[in-house]
């Protein structure tokens, strides 16, 4: 198997396992993904460590410095969100902003065809819905919007891979 194909398979497998874990714990009255991450730090950090290794190796093969930088922003933000609970608002939300910026910059940098541009536009719409919901009621369940943002980014990443390596 070609190295990038193996790495994307490992990335997807890790994401599926982490997503399943988040999905299972969703039913214990968590209102957002941060609650789930904070209550399961060790499992999430272990999975994130694997994900970081696979993504860094994958991005190294892609040989795009800006993509690597934006993905690293996203991953550092994700580590911060896992480690710092949401009730320490300023620090937690600083990492959330880092995740959002990393994702949007990565998507903008790699929007090389109409499908990827459409995915970027969808990400902006989902982000608007997420922010609007968060501003309306901070105690409201936002997990659906978070999952839309994550799912769209994963679609973008896999589609980009398929354009280059499939």
Q: For the segment 61-96, what is each residue's pLDDT rounded down to a tens digit?
A: 888 899 999 999 999 998 888 888 777 678 888 999
Total tally of structural domains belonging to the chain: 1
Stretches in the chain below the pLDDT threshold 50:
none
Residue 165 has a pLDDT of 78
Distance, CA of 159 to CA of 165 (rounded, Å):
10
Q: What pTM does this model have?
A: 0.86
Cα-based angle 77, 144, 43 (whole degrees, multiple of 5): 50
CA dihedral 142, 30, 82, 123 (to 10 degrees): -20
31 in Cβ contact with 146 (< 8 Å): no
* Residues contacting residue 159 through CB under 8 Å, at least 6 positions apart: 115, 116, 119
Q: Which residues form the domain of 141?
A: 3-165
Residue 44 has a pLDDT of 81
Residue 153 has a pLDDT of 94
A 10 A CB-CB count for 122 gives: 17
Residue 67 has a pLDDT of 92
State the sign of the Cα–Cα–Cα–Cα dihedral 43, 49, 51, 52: positive
54 in Cβ contact with 14 (< 8 Å): yes
Residue 7 has a pLDDT of 92
Distance, CA of 84 to CA of 67 (rounded, Å):
26
Write out the two tokens for 162. Answer: 């398929």
């Amino acid at each position: 198997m070609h190295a990038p194909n193996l790495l994307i398979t490992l990335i997807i497998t890790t994401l599926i396992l982490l997503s399943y874990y988040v999905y299972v714990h969703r039913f214990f009255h968590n209102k957002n993904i941060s609650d789930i991450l904070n209550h399961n730090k060790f499992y999430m950090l272990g999975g994130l460590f694997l994900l970081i290794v696979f993504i860094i190796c994958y991005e190294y093969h892609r040989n795009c410095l800006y993509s690597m930088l934006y993905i690293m922003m996203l991953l550092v933000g994700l580590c911060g969100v896992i480690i710092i609970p949401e009730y320490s608002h300023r620090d937690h939300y600083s990492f959330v902003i880092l995740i959002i910026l990393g994702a949007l910059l990565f998507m903008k940098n790699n929007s090389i065809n109409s499908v990827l541009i459409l995915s970027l536009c969808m990400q902006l719409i989902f982000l608007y819905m997420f922010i609007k919901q968060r501003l309306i009621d901070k105690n409201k369940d936002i997990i659906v919007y978070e999952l839309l943002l994550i799912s769209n980014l994963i679609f973008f990443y896999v589609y980009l891979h398929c354009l280059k390596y499939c």
